[in-house]
Structure 1
Amino acid sequence: METQSPLAGPYALGTFSHSGGPAFPGLISGDLVLDLRTVPALGGPELTTRTLLESWDSALPRLDEAAAGDRRDWLPLASLRVHAPVEPRQIFQSGANYRTHVIDLAVAHEPEGGRPAEQVRAEVAAMMDRRAAEDQPYVFLGLPSSITGPYDDVVIPSWCAKPDWELELAAVIGRPAYRVGPDQALAHVAAYTIANDVTAREVVFRRDMPEIGTDWLRAKNAPTFTPLGPYLVPAAFAGDPGDLQVTLRLNGQVMQDESTKDMIFGVARLVSYVSQTVRLLPGDLVLTGSPAGNGMHWGRLLRPGDVMEGSITGLGVQRNRCVAEPAAGEA
């Protein structure tokens, strides 16, 4: 069992299993976990974190009571496997949402012999200013099948030549949201968690059809490309989502270390924007983009054997080892 970094608030929620048994929703406090299926008021043996989110307003006070109650029947965290904390129906991913990150990527993608780096930086910075003023986030869809647990291996497909990390703050929807304004949007966010939006950089842009633009299906949705968790920290405990530190270490070396203050569009504006088109459902994820410090910036992409450690203030830490996809016929 991995060691933990401090969590904001008295408790968080997760999905756990032990001794090869079925996964169950749990309330974690310190180094103990309460199996929430044993709390009659919450729903019984079919309970999941997503069904908790579907009745979030009524569930939250019961979770408060459970956290403050007797702990004789709680389980030691060290004896449990930690899974991705929720199974979303929909994942919405914000692209180009950190000012410094966008500028760095533009410089990295500039063809050899192209525009000078300083010219690229100036042009992209001006574009970021225009985007912020016009309030038009860039959001695309992710697939739930790409999600893996916070301590599971990330499998690099045999076809992927340039795998890269992108640590992100993820907002978890509680109350359904449809056409809500930015001033209402945060009331629909139940919790926050950590996501690593691993990307195959070489297939982001379609070389066979450049006019078609980006290919997010191919670039971001391989199995295990979205490590999620470890836990859902209720929004009431998480603090200001616009002032959290996002840090990723690769084999112990800090690669990303940026505040969410560098976001162009904050959580409220992103949730509101998505809700103008789509009905957000309990358990859905809104990923808020990744800060500067990706592998493209450093000229160092992921390789089998690498270990990524991602943390966000108050939300814990995830650790994922990169492994090569087994060759055909291998176990």
Structure 2
Amino acid sequence: MKRDVDSPLFSGSFALGTVSAPGRTPFPALVLSDARVLDLRTALGAPELTVRTLLERWDEVLPRLRGLAADTAGDWLPLDGLRIHAPVEPRQIFQSGANYRQHVIDLAVAHRSPDDPRTVEEARAEIAAVMDRRAAEDLPYVFIGLPSAITGPYDDVVLPAWAEKPDWELELAAVIAKPAHRVSVEEALTYVAGYTMANDLTDRATVFRQDMPAIGTDWLRSKNAPGFTPLGPWIVPTESIADSGDLRVTLKLNGETMQDESTKDMIFGVARMVSYVSQSAQLLPGDLVLTGSPAGNGMHWGRLLRDGDVMEGTITGLGAQRTRCVAEKPS
């Protein structure tokens, strides 16, 4: 892990993470912005505690976390030397597609058929009209991901041999605090414990079923390879993020900025997304609601991921992740 020791790790006074020391199993940690961590299993007297089980008691535990963060006499450990894992193991992952206006327009242009008679300008104008209609009809597009795709924010990402066009998608993710079913937009954010970031990798070559085009998208294959969702590093409480609709999402590939967009470009914000998901499914503590990827993906640049690439992602107030791509070794 590389960081600027003179800058805070995240917004606010504390965040949650899952870390481990050499020779120790991972433990849920209270993390301070000055890079100190506290083992919450010891601090809360709960030997079997995980971040997910902590979230199941979020309203009860949050005041205690504030108190622990203010107690400088605790048994704090330096973050340096610890391994940072994905901050939570969710039971469910809800992923949003086509939620950034500019991103959708860019992808639509990139995926045009070679015999499409429209000019680039005409194609962009038509898809922009579709985005306006979707916003007016109030219908987000959500599908389901697998927890087994999650990996840590500094772990290597293995590119499967079958993935011909692996691409990056850095996204803001909401972390659910309590069971939510059929909640209104107005109350939806009260069910969110905090925010983290997810790089929702996608193999563009397998998004659409070529054998049966009428079926449409194949999210299982294109998005759910092991390690295709680097997550974290932290869960930053909602109270430390002033406005989830005004955060900067930035991804660099080998030091070159590829994505750099505000969440202002989202068609549907966090509250709308959480409410929409809850109308069909029941959200559970620790679940993730990914809010979609902004513009600047590899399809737009004509440059997909390959062996040795390094991705560095940041979202305002949520810290930074750094992952290296490694080609799958022949079996």
TM value normalised by structure 2: 0.97
Question: What do residues 35-91 of structure 1 show as CA deviations (whole Å, max 9, x unaligned)?
Answer: 111113xx5110010011000001000000100113452111012000000000000
Q: Which residue of 1 aligns with 2:2?
A: 2
Q: Which residue of 2 aligns with 1:39?
A: 43
Counterpart CA distance in 2 for 1:240 and 1:53 is 21
Q: Which residue of 2 aligns with 1:88?
A: 90
Describe how 1:137-152 pairs up with structure 2 within 5 A. Answer: 137-152=140-155
Counterpart CA distance in 2 for 1:71 and 1:20 is 25
Deviation at 1:11, TM superposition (A): 0.6
Q: Answer with 71-80 or 202-211: which moved more.
A: 71-80
Counterpart CA distance in 1 for 2:93 and 2:245 is 20
Residues 38 and 74, structure 2, Cα contact 8 Å, conserved in 1: no
Find the partner of 1:127 among 125, 130, 133.
130
Q: Which 4+ stretches in 1 moved above 6 angstroms?
A: none
Describe how 1:253-272 pairs up with structure 2 within 5 A. Answer: 253-272=256-275
TM value normalised by structure 1: 0.97
Counterpart CA distance in 1 for 2:97 and 2:105 is 13
Question: What do residues 274-322 of structure 1 show as CA deviations (whole Å, max 9, x unaligned)?
Answer: 0000010000000000000000000000011000000000000000000
Question: What do residues 16-50 of structure 1 show as CA deviations (whole Å, max 9, x unaligned)?
Answer: 0011310100011111100111113xx51100100
Extract unaligned runs of 5+ from structure 2.
none
Letter in 2 for 1:137: P
Letter in 1 for 2:291: T
Find the partner of 1:18 among 14, 18, 21.
21
Residues 68 and 74, structure 2, Cα contact 8 Å, conserved in 1: no
Counterpart CA distance in 2 for 1:72 and 1:103 is 51
Counterpart CA distance in 2 for 1:259 and 1:182 is 21
Find the partner of 1:326 among 317, 324, 329.
329
Q: Helix, strand or coil for the counterpart of 1:276?
A: helix
Deviation at 1:238, TM superposition (A): 1.6
Q: Which residue of 2 aligns with 1:208?
A: 211
Describe how 1:46-57 pairs up with structure 2 within 5 A. Answer: 46-57=48-59
Q: Are 1:27 and 2:25 counterparts? A: no
Counterpart CA distance in 1 for 2:282 and 2:164 is 36
Q: Helix, strand or coil for the counterpart of 2:103?
A: helix
Counterpart CA distance in 1 for 2:47 and 2:190 is 29
Q: Are 1:276 and 2:279 counterparts? A: yes
Counterpart CA distance in 1 for 2:316 and 2:249 is 7
Counterpart CA distance in 2 for 1:63 and 1:178 is 27
Question: What do residues 223-267 of structure 1 show as CA deviations (whole Å, max 9, x unaligned)?
Answer: 000000000000110220000000000011100000000000000
Letter in 1 for 2:108: A
Counterpart CA distance in 1 for 2:316 and 2:132 is 27
Q: Helix, strand or coil for the counterpart of 1:79?
A: coil
Q: Answer with 46-55 or 113-122: which moved more.
A: 113-122
Q: Which residue of 2 aligns with 1:252?
A: 255
Question: What is the percentage of aligned positions where both structures have the same residue?
Answer: 70
Q: Are 1:299 and 2:294 counterparts? A: no
Q: Helix, strand or coil for the counterpart of 1:206?
A: coil
Counterpart CA distance in 2 for 1:236 and 1:206 is 42
How many corresponding residue pairs? 326
Describe how 1:208-247 pairs up with structure 2 within 5 A. Answer: 208-247=211-250
Counterpart CA distance in 2 for 1:326 and 1:147 is 20
Q: Helix, strand or coil for the counterpart of 2:280?
A: coil
Q: Answer with 115-124 or 285-294: which moved more.
A: 115-124
Q: Answer with 108-117 or 262-271: which moved more.
A: 108-117
Q: Are 1:163 and 2:166 counterparts? A: yes
Q: Over aligned residues, Cα RMSD in angstroms?
A: 0.9
Deviation at 1:3, TM superposition (A): 1.5
